[in-house]
Structure 1
Amino acid sequence: MALPPGTTDEAFLREVDEEYRRDQAMHILRNYGRWILGAVVLALVAFGGWLYWQHYSEQKAGTQGEQYDAAMRLVEEGKAAEANPALDKIAATSGEGYAATARLAQGSLLLQKNDIKGAAAKFAEVANNAKFPQPYRDLALIRQTAAEFDSVKPQVVIDRLKGLTNPNSPWLGTAGELVAAAYLKAGNKAEAGRLYGQIAQGGEKVPESIRQRAVQLAGVLGVDAIDQSKDTKAK
């Protein structure tokens, strides 16, 4: 194969290597993008449950808690249509914590029905309401962005969530994966690799499954990331 004029063997091999890495990254994004988003959603659902139970324990909200529990039991029994009126009432009349939680639950139910637009709107109600506690708003913003990921420009995802990807953020893993995927979608491999590396070194604040995935993706993008979870546990 003839090299372009003025091209050294080393430069040519470097170009081939970069092209190979770009192809690998796009292959991962095409084939695993939805799986990554699914993992993010599962992590957020689990965290949403933790938020709810923390609020329940601290406030001992009595009637509101019983109403929410009853609505969730209906959902578990496959009676989401019956649960919605109860969630509407909680969202309209409860304190900020339960009102936010009810709207998040409604958004999740809409996602189950594949109503992406309706779910995103419900999450946005929480994310944009300054009266709600910040953890609920952050959770809602991530869930809204995950739902809309395929329908908005990569820069929208980056602008929305970049503030939640700093090393000290409890949302580094979940928000970070979405932002890194958006960088990849936009063709910015350097920023995607840097962020995957940051996630991989997030320690205990990032779930182990996300750290391991970040190590692999960072490596594909040419970043030598180390999952510090084992070092952390060993100390």
Structure 2
Amino acid sequence: MVEPNIINPKDIKIINPEQKEGLLEELNLPPKAIQFIRANERALQIALVVFVVCFLGWTYWGHYTETKRENASSALALAMLEADPAVRDGALSAVLDDFSGSSAAYWAMLEKGHALLKSGEYETALKDYREVASELSGKSPLQPYLLYGIALCLENLDRVDEAYAQYQKLSGYTGYELSGQLAMARMLELQGKAQEALDLYRKVQDNEKLPPQKKSIVTEKMNTIMGDASGAN
């Protein structure tokens, strides 16, 4: 038995494509918003494409820079593990060449400067340190190490006044106050400014952060200065 057709052809309505609701209407957007989107459809499409391109470019660049940073850090770590001075120097130079401008490259330059300093090549080391200083940001965490290296070079070159100025800058960095002040006091001694050196040693000795082993050294320094002063009288 054939089932009766429950659909009445008279009830079928022909849908006019022009009257069919679009996605914007289905999203229940306000009429004004729909009108704006349709009026600016082309411009909005272009803006969307630009956004996607920028987003993908930013993502790729972030991945690229992160990968390069990791490679630079790995190369620096391997270079510093080299026991042979010549091989180590070559590896540090490779870091400079391959990752110029990176934090790893600046650290490599500092390490090369330290090696020159240890070997007594103070002028060359100072030149390298100055080169780093010309490129390094004042807020870089490498600044204290750089200042200390420059100061040591100047001190060994008997440029005491200049060394004092560098140690003074060093004392302005958090965590390096005591090291900077102790070095400043030492420079004052070399300049023959015994009383100023003594006053600074006293200031350092009163600092609660001064380690016990250094406190005894400071006390000995103070006793030496006071002994020399009493002997002179």
**TM-score when scaled to structure 2?**
0.58
Greater radius of gyration (CA): 2
1:73 matched to 2:81: yes
Corresponding residue number in structure 2 for 1:211: 215
Given that 2:151 and 2:164 are in contact with CA atoms closer than 8 Å, whether structure 1 keeps it comes out as no
CA distance in 2, matches of 1:128, 1:181: 27
1:6-17 aligned within 5 A? none
User: Amino acid of the residue matched to residue 76 of structure 2?
Assistant: Y
CA distance in 1, matches of 2:134, 2:203: 28
Q: 1:157 to 1:172 in 2, by over 3 A?
A: same
Unaligned runs of 5+ in 1: 1-58, 224-235
User: Amino acid of the residue matched to residue 177 of structure 1?
Assistant: L
Given that 1:173 and 1:210 are in contact with CA atoms closer than 8 Å, whether structure 2 keeps it comes out as no
User: Amino acid of the residue matched to residue 71 of structure 1?
Assistant: A
Q: CA deviation at 1:127?
A: 3.2
Unaligned runs of 5+ in 2: 1-65, 228-233
Corresponding residue number in structure 1 for 2:164: 158
Q: Deviations over 1:139-176 (max 9, x none)?
A: 2111121122132332222223223335x742223222
Q: CA deviation at 1:103?
A: 1.0
CA distance in 2, matches of 1:211, 1:116: 30
1:129 matched to 2:135: yes
CA distance in 2, matches of 1:222, 1:112: 33
Q: CA deviation at 1:189?
A: 0.9
1:23-34 aligned within 5 A? none
Corresponding residue number in structure 1 for 2:120: 114
Given that 2:147 and 2:169 are in contact with CA atoms closer than 8 Å, whether structure 1 keeps it comes out as no
Q: 1:146 to 1:182 in 2, by over 3 A?
A: same
Given that 1:96 and 1:131 are in contact with CA atoms closer than 8 Å, whether structure 2 keeps it comes out as no
Q: 1:64 to 1:130 in 2, by over 3 A?
A: closer
Corresponding residue SS for 1:221: helix
Indicate which of 124, 138, 151 corresponds to 1:145: 151
Q: Deviations over 1:7-45 (max 9, x none)?
A: xxxxxxxxxxxxxxxxxxxxxxxxxxxxxxxxxxxxxxx
Corresponding residue SS for 2:81: helix
Q: 1:129 to 1:138 in 2, by over 3 A?
A: farther
**TM-score when scaled to structure 1?**
0.58
Q: CA deviation at 1:87?
A: 1.3
Structure ranking higher on relative contact order (CA contacts 8 Å, 6+ apart): 1
CA distance in 2, matches of 1:91, 1:133: 21
Q: 1:203 to 1:68 in 2, by over 3 A?
A: same
CA distance in 1, matches of 2:208, 2:135: 31
Q: CA deviation at 1:222?
A: 4.1
CA distance in 1, matches of 2:112, 2:125: 7
CA distance in 1, matches of 2:156, 2:187: 10
